[in-house]
Amino acid sequence: MPDAILKLSKLNAFYGDFQALYDVDLNVNEGEVLAIIGANGAGKTTLLRSISGLIGNDPAQVTFRGTSIGAERPDVVARMGLAMVPEGRQLFPSLSVEENLMIGGRVNRKGPWTLRKVYDLFPILEERKAQASTSLSGGQQQMVAIGRALMSNPELIMFDEISLGLAPVIIRDIYAALPGIVGGGMSAVIVEQDITKALAVSSRVYCLQEGRVSLEGKSGAVSRDDIARAYFGVE
Amino acid sequence: MDFVNAVVQGTLLGGLYALFAAGLSLIFGVMRLVNIAHGDLIVLAAYLGLTTTVALGVHPLVALVVVVPAMAGIGYVLQRCVLNHTLGDDILPPLLVTFGLSVIIQNALLEGYSADPQKMDAGALETASVALGPLSLGVLPLLTFAIAVAVIAGLQWTFYRTPLGRAFRATSDNQDIAQLMGLNKRHVFGLAMALALAVTAVAGILLGIRTSFDPSVGGGRLIFGFEAVIIGGLGNLWGTLVGGVILGVAQTVGATINPGWQLLAGHIAFLVILAVRPNGLFPRISA
């Protein structure tokens, strides 16, 4: 597919001696929102860590805009325009809210996202900008984590377990902000436990099961039964 | 009056100890590296200063212009070529490697400069003093203390007000996520070591003006530096200055009581604080 922005070819990823991913083939197309679902331990986070360079792989197993990045360092990958909102937010505790956002902008890529735009998207962050990032509520911390990733003006943004540990009302707010984030032509990968949410915002979906792709399809076209089978591996 | 004098002189001496300690504190704060070779790097800076003053015929303080960038360069290269490879989940490799480095530096200095004590000649600055009531304060100790305060204020500003400082703190907080922000941690660590050794260069020159030195004195400077860091509380730069002052005062007061008690008194003060406040006086509140 020529318009794939990110392509995984037979990705095998390891945690030490433990193999977490087996021959994973996956495409993210230009401008689309792709959902990746799967049970705990299916390899979703390993997949994102492999793409972002935190886990090293063979160069050709991950290509971004035609460039092999499987073996690149994570900071090089980030500068190419790939950003991640990590699982559990993982803000920098010794940095204030604004400093967390500014460090995201350090990559210095041109684009629409500035401190101003992030504050327009999440006004509460401007009120709290001088506070320690750890003093915010979970939902506000998630906003900082998203803003921090946006500040690098990525071409592809990856969300790892965006709703994990957040109250339903906060999750709804965050998902309501999502179209404004990915609307500007940015591609996105969303890793999510909440299958309904994942299907609602994405155009295509992959399901991982024990390190392998068990289902791939259009989000609107996959049936609940297909997903149940792919998710749990039961017939 | 003797005690007042001892406290004042000790406070000024504490400035030098704070300079010994600041680099140590910075490196530990950014990359959790305990640098056993730190004292020997101070002595190396003193020798570089000596060579510069002799070769160029300049005042030791002017030699800072050469020695500070030289030590910063050595720090960056050392970090990128050697120390980065020792960092990981295990804290033992950096300890062993910096211990080895300490032995190498000592022996290289012994080979290059012999075991004879050396001293830098700072001319009239060494003996100049100003009267403050009944006390007589040396200009050099006053200058040392002022430099220590300026260096620590500068480091504090760098850490909390500049993009470089943000990079240091972010990398210290979470190396993986910092890399996702486009920070090359090896480069950040290199810059941290460069900055630490630039401070070490200042400490080494001031040490070399104040007292004579030989290749074996690094270990003692390392201990003073460690003690100042621990007394003040890990990761707190102003605390490090206070730690240096407490150590300096304990030593001079001890020496006033009995000249043989100088070092002992410093160590006792350190042990007492470690027993009463194991995290130091002003530990940084960590999340």
Q: What are phi and psi of B76, to 5 degrees?
A: -65, -45
pLDDT number for residue A108 = 83
What is the interface size between A and B, counted as CB pairs within 8 Å? 72
DSSP A34-54: EEEEE-TTSSHHHHHHHHHTS
Rounded-to-integer distance, Cα B152 and Cα B236, Å: 10
For A135, the closest chain B residue by CA position comes to: B287
For residues A130 and A96, the answer to whether their CB atoms sit within 8 Å is yes
Among B30, B156, B180, the residue to mutate for chain A (most A Cβ within 10 A):
B180
pLDDT tops 90 at residue B282: no
Q: Which two tokens stand for residue B66?
A: 């050469």
Q: Is residue B274 packed enough to be buried (19+ CB in 10 Å), middle (13-18) or exposed (0-12)?
A: middle
Please state, in angstroms and rounded to a whole number, the distance separating the CA atoms of residues B221 and B91.
Answer: 22
Q: Are B182 and A78 in contact (CB under 8 A)?
A: yes
* A52, A75, A132 ranked by CB distance to B184: nearest: A75
- In angstroms, the Cα distances linking A13 to A35, A45, A49, A231, B260 are 20, 11, 9, 20, 63
| pLDDT value, residue A142 | 94
Residue B62: pLDDT above 90? yes
- Condensed to tens digits (0 to 9), the pLDDT of residues B135-159 reads 899 999 999 999 999 999 999 999 9
Segment B120-145 mean pLDDT: 92
Contact A103 B286 (CB under 8 A): no
User: pTM of the full predicted structure?
Assistant: 0.92
What pLDDT score was predicted for residue B287? 32
Note the pLDDT of residue B128: 93
- The answer to whether B137 touches B130, Cβ cutoff 8 Å, is yes
Tens of pLDDT along B221-269?
Answer: 999 999 999 999 887 899 999 999 999 999 999 999 999 999 999 999 9
CB A152 to CB B179 under 8 A? Answer: no
Q: Is B181 close to A99, i.e. CB distance below 8 A? A: no
Which of A52, A102, A134 is facing B180, going by the closest CB pair?
A52
Beta carbons of A148 and B181 less than 8 Å apart? yes
Query: Which residues in chain A have Cβ-Cβ distances shorter than 8 Å to B183?
Result: 75, 103, 106
Q: Which residues contact B207 (CB under 8 A, 6 or more apart)?
A: B16, B20, B42, B43, B46, B213, B221
Nearest to A191 by CA among A11, A48, A9, A8: A48
Which neighbouring-strand residues pair with A187?
Answer: A156
Structure tokens at B219: 């270990």
Strand-pair partners of B130: B137
Mutate to test the interface with B, among A46, A89, A90, A94 (most CBs of B within 10 A): A94
Model confidence at B286, pLDDT cuts 50, 70, 90, reads very low
Alpha helices by DSSP H, listed for A89-137, are: 97-104, 115-121, 123-127
**In this structure, are strands A187-191 and A156-160 parallel, antiparallel, or unpaired?**
parallel
Name the token pair of A194.
């909440």
Lowest-confidence pick of A52-66, A158-172, B9-23, B94-108: A158-172
Cα–Cα distance for residue pair B136/B138, rounded to 1 Å: 7
| Per-residue pLDDT at A235 | 58
Please judge whether B166 and A99 are an interchain contact, meaning their C-beta atoms are less than 8 angstroms apart.
yes
Hey, what are B64's tokens? Answer: 């800072």
Distance from the Cα of B22 to chain A's closest Cα (Å) equals 19
Q: Which residues of B touch A54 (CB under 8 A)?
A: 176, 179-180
The percentage of residues in chain B with a pLDDT greater than 70, rounded to a whole number, is 99
Q: Which residue of B has its CA nearest to A88?
A: B177
| Residue B177's pLDDT band (cuts 50, 70, 90) | very high
pLDDT band at B1 (very low <50, low <70, confident <90, very high): confident
Percent of the residues in chain B that have a pLDDT greater than 90, as a whole number: 89
Domains and CATH numbers, chain A: 4-89+155-232 (3.40.50.300)
pLDDT band, very low/low/confident/very high, at B2 (cuts 50, 70, 90): confident
Residues of chain A with pLDDT under 70: 1-2, 234-235
Question: Measured between alpha carbons, how far is A190 from A33 in angstroms, rounded to an integer?
Answer: 7
A94 vs B169: CB contact, 8 Å cut-off? yes
Which among B169, B172, B179 has the least Cβ separation from residue A74?
B179
